[in-house]
Amino acid sequence: MSETPEFPAGAGPHEPPGSREMAARAAALDAADPLAAVRDRFVLDAAPDHASGDAAVYLDGNSLGALPRTVAGRVADVIAREWGELRIRSWTESGWWTAPERVGDKIAPLIGAAPGQVVVGDSTSVNLFKAVVGGVRMAGKGCTEILVDATTFPTDGYIARSAARMTGLAVRPVEPARIADEVTERTALALVNHVDYRTGRLNDLPGITHALHSAGALAVWDLCHSAGALPVGLDAHHVDLAVGCTYKYLNGGPGAPAFLYLRESLQERFESPLPGWNSHADPFAMDPAYAPAEGIARGRVGTPDILSLLALEAALEVWDGVSVDAVRTKSLALTDFFLECVGVHVPPDRARSVTPYDHRQRGSQVSLECRGAGEVMDELIRRGVVGDFRRPDVLRFGFTPLYTSFADAERAARVLGEVLGALPEVGTGAAGTGG
């Protein structure tokens, strides 16, 4: 590994050809953006202290979404009034008890689900465990394997292997594009990421789900990098189970509770591997024998995390009057424009996109491969362009259309060009955090 390189503070000696043209195009695109006003619903940097003096560009919403303005006041009220004054009465008078399903119904239209099929609570990992074990228990007799997306976020693989050990099945990693060819009558289910966390590649949810069903297997989807960024269509494509976090494109805050989707027609058959008192048909009977609640409530486990759950509920207000289709249109326009700006600003052969250019295969992030990605991202952040990186050499830029502007995209590419242009050769850096 080479020593940490020195990064000159300014740009190169000459303005890159096309810089003014790209900045002008960004301004025109922002002026015509129908979602531009939604940006004001978030708390974003005005003028932080960094090398350029400009406002920071936040392109890490694929790890942690920005703070919606409605959240602070709502959380303050929950603490001071609902907890501080009403106390235990808030479980009924303030609606705490029904919050997991109520907030689930707010998320449902963002992932293409009808009401009564989404419950919010626990972490993504816990919900993955519930979905995989519960799915195996619903699978047909004679099933011997679970297919797992071979490019998955590591937690999904850990959970799948643990579930397989518990249920006596084997885990078989398969590239998402090969699942339709690899599924057999022995497959209980497949656990697949809708969007690859590292590359931003969008996997074929309709096609893979159909292929699994044709073989008699269930489809379990991880929506962590797609919920709130693009249309998912869970009901339309007959997905069986799905999970997702809410702190990325849904902007629920650090550690915000995750969600579990369970198709209505499967709910009666769903047997949770974590039968907590909160999912009992009569929770306050304190019956030593477990009887699951009706409907999506059987996806609950223990006492809900009220503070974070109600912060998420407030955060979801930013979606008022916003359609997921409009978000997807802007997402593709933003990522197209960013890739074009990279082509203008970044010296040839210094970085290449590992995110597909094809709209049908792209989520809402752009991942660029370059040498010394860790130090490069550190320098970008120092100059006010906040993304993240994944070992060994991938820069990730997440585009949240609710608050990311085209000017943000142009500036990020321009600063990246300055950083890479100043460095003929760099070493490797330390890993980032988050999914």
Q: Please give the structure tokens belonging to residue 430.
A: 């330390």
Q: Is the pLDDT of residue 3 over 90?
A: no
* CATH number reported for the structural domain that contains residue 185 in this entry: 3.40.640.10
Same domain, 65 and 114: no
- Indicate the residue type of 217: A
pLDDT band of 16, cuts 50, 70, 90: low
Assess whether 222 carries a catalytic annotation. yes
5 in a structural domain = no
- The CATH number that applies at residue 375 is 3.90.1150.10
Name the pTM for this structure.
0.93
How many independent structural domains does the chain possess?
2
Catalytic position from the list 39, 130, 248, 350 = 248
29-43, 46-60, 393-407: range with lowest mean pLDDT: 46-60
For residues 141 and 224, membership in a common domain is answered with yes
Nearest to 226 by CA among 240, 210, 205, 256: 205
Is residue 211 included in any domain, yes or no?
A: yes
The model's confidence at residue 70, banded by pLDDT at 50, 70 and 90, is: very high
Structural domain of 346: 19-69+323-421
The token pair at 37 is: 């006003």
pLDDT band at 17 (very low <50, low <70, confident <90, very high): low
3-state secondary structure of 187: strand
CA distances from 379 to 341, 372, 387 (A): 19, 11, 11
Last residue of a domain, one of 249, 268, 303: 303
Q: Are residues 36 and 103 both part of a single domain?
A: no
Cα separation, 364 vs 370, whole angstroms: 20
More confident residue, 428 or 145: 145
What's the whole-number mean pLDDT along residues 50-75? Answer: 89
Looking at 271, 303, 335, the residue that finishes a domain is 303
Active site residue 248: yes
The verdict on 55 and 112 lying in the same domain is no
- Average per-residue pLDDT for the chain: 92
**Do 257 and 386 share a domain, yes or no?**
no
Greatest Cα pair distance in the chain:
76
User: What whole-number distance in Å separates Cα of residue 28 and Cα of residue 345?
Assistant: 19
Check 33, 122, 196, 222 and give the catalytic one. 222
Q: Are 383 and 220 in contact (CB under 8 A)?
A: no
Residue 149 has pLDDT above 50, yes or no: yes
- Which one is catalytic: 247, 337, 389, 399? 247
Same domain, yes or no: 345 and 274: no
Residues 290, 227 share a domain: yes
Average pLDDT over residues 297-324: 98
Q: Tell me: do 237 and 343 sit in the same domain.
A: no
342-373 pLDDT per residue, tens: 999 999 889 999 999 999 999 999 999 999 99
Q: Is the pLDDT of residue 430 over 50?
A: no
Tell me the pLDDT tens digit for each residue of 94-135. 999 999 999 999 999 999 999 999 999 999 999 999 999 999
Whether 233 is in a domain gets the answer: yes
153 is catalytic: yes
The answer to whether position 137 is within a domain reads: yes
Which member of 41, 130, 198, 396 is catalytic? 396
Q: Is residue 29 part of a domain?
A: yes
Residue 5 has pLDDT above 70, yes or no: no
Within a domain: residue 318?
no
